[in-house]
Amino acid sequence: MERLFFIFIDVFLPLIVGYFFHKYKLMSINTCNLLLKINIRFITLVVGLGSFWIIKIDSNIFLLAFVGIFLCAVLPGLLAYPYAHSKIKNLRGNGAYLISSMLSNTGILGGLCAFIALGQLAYAYVQVIGMAQNLFTLIFGFPLAEYFHQKIKAGPRTVKFHPHWRSILISWNQIGLISMIIGAILNINEVPLPFFFDPIFNAFIHIGAWCGILPVGYLLNFKAARIYKYIASSVIPIRFIIIPILSYFIANQFTNDPLLISIITLITSCPIGINAIVVTQLYKLNTSIAEAMFLITTAVFIFIIYPLFLLFMV
């Protein structure tokens, strides 16, 4: 019953509030973006520091990093590529579909769902996966989006790819990564957690849920979902059947810890993330495809996949 309460308070309610804020023009897009920035640059600063301070730093870190980069990003992209290449001929759509398929809602929705189902340590482990996926997005996702953008601008001409690495790698959005490194250093040096850590850490998880999920509700685009529903739905078997099943068996080969197995199975089942919309908007790709993929996969995750996870894996 407590889990259902937190799912309503921290997932459904901010989605509903965000949607009605947009519908009745009670919040501007600038405020929406401000909430996202607060979540990325401030909330992540606290929870990232705390997460890497409380986890046990051992070989499982490498397993979780592998999950974040390969199982959450690279493999879904490889499996989505044939559909993108054969079915979406427009470069804006092709790029948006391919990039979106590799970016999942790990840190915000996945972390919250792990916290509700499995507790504080599970949330901390998810941040390791999220950090690995953020590195993938930074090093591969943004340059890939820029590659499509440059190809579109070049038209029929051959384009030589010139990624702007300075603007990609140096950003306020990387402050969460710095906090995680500081947390790991404190952990390795066995600096004890302060007595007031738990309530602050737990509070910031819930605050982060609202700062991260309310803008999701605000950005819900049902028109895009209707127009691109078939394209968006094509990623469902990859995201919710192939990857989670494969991840479950891979996890069992590398660990016998039931918590880690549950976390890996849950996180590799996460829907397309809001960062897909941000990246496609930034590089002028087909944002509507990213919005449709985000909306449809989020609905499937919240109403079908996560309840099944709670029923069979917890």
**CATH code, domain carrying 240:** 1.20.1530.20
pLDDT band, residue 146 (cuts 50/70/90): confident
Mean pLDDT of 3-18: 84
- Which SS3 state, helix, strand or coil, does residue 272 take? strand
Please give the pLDDT value at position 101.
96
Mean pLDDT of 192-203: 87
Percent of the chain beyond pLDDT 90? Answer: 42
User: What's phi and psi for 204, nearest 5 deg?
Assistant: -70, -30
Q: How many domains does the chain have?
A: 1
Length of the chain: 314
pLDDT band, residue 96 (cuts 50/70/90): very high
- Predicted confidence (pLDDT) per residue in 225-234, tens digit: 899 999 999 9
The identity of residue 224, as a single letter, is A
End-to-end CA distance of the chain: 14
Annotate 21-34 with b (16+ C-beta within 10 A) or e (fewer). bbeeeebeeeebee
Place of tokens 């590195």: 135
**Domain residues for 38?**
2-312
Cβ pair 310, 304 in contact under 8 A: no
Is 131 or 93 the better-scoring residue by pLDDT?
A: 93
Please give the pLDDT value at position 165.
61
Mean pLDDT of 103-126: 90
Q: Give the Cα separation of 133 and 141 in Å (integer).
A: 10
Residue 166 reports pLDDT greater than 70: no
Residue 159 reports pLDDT greater than 60: no
Question: What number of other Cβ atoms are within 10 A of residue 249's Cβ?
Answer: 11
Average pLDDT, the chain: 87
- Predicted confidence (pLDDT) per residue in 51-83, tens digit: 888 888 888 888 999 999 999 999 999 999 999
Structure tokens at 94: 């092709």
Please give the pLDDT value at position 135.
79
Please give the pLDDT value at position 164.
63
Residue 216 reports pLDDT greater than 80: no
